[in-house]
Amino acid sequence: MQRKIDAAEHVSARRRRLMGGVATIPALLLMAALPRAARAQAQSGEAISMAGTFALSSPARAAQIRQSVAPALANQLKSLADEGLAREPHVQAVVHIQGLLPHEQNRDASVLAQEDWRQTLTQALAGCITGDSAYEAKAAAYIDAWMAGYSPSFNPIDEADLTDLLFGFDFLQTRLSPSTVEKARLLGRQLATGYLGERRVGDPSTGLNNWQSHRIKLATAGAYLSGDAEVIAAARAGFVAHATRNVGMDGRTYDFDQRDAMHYVVYDLEPLLMAASMAAAHGEDWYGLPSLQGRLAAALHWLEPYAAGDEQHEEFVHSTVHFDARRAAAHVEGYSGLWKRKEASDLCWIASRLDSRFTRIATALDAQPAVRALFA
């Protein structure tokens, strides 16, 4: 059945309250705003018990993936990696897709560049699982090419998938040159400090919506890759600050109120759960932090009947963002009509590894091979 949700019911009052509070979020100085005791712990290494130089997958985790990935999934990854072995890198000094329709400006070249990041992870996972050095060499070539001269733009929509490059790096550190490894760690620090800093690309609402979720994801990946406990603590503070403002106690997200679309509920929650997954890989439970009061679980439960197919939602009917109407008019897939629950596949798989209550829905959906392998 289709449950009609009047997005306008909650939007005005909640948006006024939240937008009024954006200035009070210490995003400009998150590190400086950390409690003195927490900063002292971070500096001594006590606050983050396992902070290291990987973003998501440690060497021990790589060994677990190698052992636990089923043959059918291994074959899927191998097939995807084989398709990409002959592909050349498409490094761009500036990657930009945000606010552009297909084929506008330099969007097509940027899409090819973003595929480099995804291919890095695919090739690295295939190398990890099969032991085939050809896949590892291909992933290493992508990393070398991007580390040679890329500087972050700090647009979290353009760089949303840059974490795939860093996740691929996790599997290859021992075969990369010391200079490339050092550049990757420097990039991580740049991402963390830049995305947690004062200057932001985007209008004020981006401090509350999916843009900030992606900022937090990128900052968290960079912080853990840098291995700096104080930067990691700042990323954690940013995660808490954003999650408590973005998700209501009933599980309803700011993005749903703004866009009236399940697409953006998923696009908002997935980076937050990925950040929580990185923390979990380092021994920290961000998903279950008492200060969040169960908000992330509530958001997943809110989405669950739609992801299960029990309820439906017509997308973007009451969106307040003009670009959504432009995409619908251009017939961009997914920006009109009923939401397709397969969009929640990756989110539910990631969620199931943080909270076993979502295993059932994750199993019913078909997450991408790379996601299933990363969280095997």
pLDDT per position as a tens digit, 230-246: 999 999 999 999 999 99
Q: Which token pair is 245?
A: 């403002």
**Residue 37: predicted pLDDT:** 34
Q: Is 29 helix (H, G, I), strand (E, B) or coil?
A: strand
pLDDT per residue over 166-207, tens digit each? Answer: 999 999 999 999 999 999 999 999 999 999 997 788 889 999
Q: Is 252 helix (H, G, I), strand (E, B) or coil?
A: coil
**Residue 50: predicted pLDDT:** 35
Cβ contact 182:146 at 8 Å: no
Q: Which token pair is 356?
A: 């076993």
User: Residues 332, 275, 232, 242: is their CA dihedral positive or negative?
Assistant: positive
- Percent of the chain residues past pLDDT 70, beyond the cut: 86
Q: Other C-beta atoms within 10 Å of 103: how many?
A: 9
How far is the C-alpha of 233 from the C-alpha of 228, rounded, in Å? 9
Q: Which token pair is 213?
A: 């979720």
Q: Which token pair is 303?
A: 């989405």
- Average pLDDT (97-121) is 98
Choice among 13-17, 212-216, 339-343, 344-348 with the minimum mean pLDDT: 13-17
User: For residue 197, which phi and psi values (nearest 5 degrees)?
Assistant: -90, -170
73 by Cβ neighbours in 10 Å (0-12 / 13-18 / 19+) ranks as middle
DSSP type of residue 204: G
How far is the C-alpha of 173 from the C-alpha of 175, rounded, in Å? 6
Higher pLDDT, 22 or 334: 334
**Residue 40: predicted pLDDT:** 39
Res. 149 pLDDT band, cuts 50 70 90: confident
Q: What does 319-374 look like in DSSP terms, one character per residue?
A: ---HHHHHHHHTT-TTSSSBPPGGGGHHHHHHHHHH-GGGHHHHHHS---HHHHHH
| Residue 291 pLDDT exceeds 80 | yes
User: Whole-model pTM?
Assistant: 0.90
Q: Is 253 helix (H, G, I), strand (E, B) or coil?
A: strand
| Residue 156 pLDDT exceeds 80 | yes
**Residue 15: predicted pLDDT:** 56
Choice among 88-92, 167-171, 196-200, 299-303 with the minimum mean pLDDT: 196-200
13 by Cβ neighbours in 10 Å (0-12 / 13-18 / 19+) ranks as exposed
The pLDDT mean for the chain works out to 90
| Cα→Cα distances 75→179, 231, 369, Å | 33, 38, 10
pLDDT per residue over 11-49, tens digit each? Answer: 555 554 555 555 444 444 454 544 333 343 344 343 333
Cβ contact 134:85 at 8 Å: yes
Q: Other C-beta atoms within 10 Å of 1: how many?
A: 6
Pick the CATH number of 8-24+57-374 from 3.20.20.70, 1.10.800.10, 1.10.510.10, 1.50.10.100: 1.50.10.100
| Residue 159 pLDDT exceeds 50 | yes
Scored b (16 or more CB within 10 A) or e, 184-208 reads bbebbbebbbbbbbeebebeebbbb
Distance of alpha carbon 315 from the chain centroid: 22
| Residue 157 pLDDT exceeds 50 | yes
Cβ contact 186:149 at 8 Å: no
Query: How is the chain split into domains, by residue range?
Result: 8-24+57-374
Cβ contact 223:90 at 8 Å: no
Nearest CA to 38 among 267, 230, 300? 230
DSSP type of residue 172: T
Nearest CA to 163 among 194, 138, 191, 202? 191
